[in-house]
Amino acid sequence: MNENDDEAFAEARLIEAIENQLEAGEPAAAQATFNKLTLVGYEREDILALMAQVLAQEIRTMLRDDRGFDMDWYEQALRALPELPEDD
């Protein structure tokens, strides 16, 4: 696998995780964000990509800082979409 394959694989896993969150209704912010962005005209694939970017940023921060998942930050960042959070 080359770097592009790795990125595509990672993105697919992140989108799968977002779809699982939506299906489970957890966290509630995931469905609320999806609904909000749908109402303002975003396409499903674009919404999933935005939400996956937020999840990826939280995972990067977790790994960098060697800490657990920050659900409060994650939900706040989801609710702020389509504005993406600042990269640390």
Q: For position 86, what pLDDT does the model report?
A: 84
Distance CA 12, CA 52 (A): 9
Distance CA 6, CA 8 (A): 5
Q: For position 29, what pLDDT does the model report?
A: 96
Average pLDDT of the chain to the nearest whole number: 94
Going by C-alpha positions, the residue among 12, 51, 60, 15 that lies closest to residue 30 is 51
DSSP alpha helix (H) spans, 1-88: 3-24, 28-39, 44-65, 71-80
Q: Give the predicted TM-score (pTM) of the model.
A: 0.90
Q: For position 57, what pLDDT does the model report?
A: 95
Q: For position 1, what pLDDT does the model report?
A: 58
**Which pLDDT tens digit goes with each residue over 29-86?**
999 999 999 999 999 999 999 999 999 999 999 999 999 999 999 999 999 999 998 8
Distance CA 37, CA 22 (A): 14
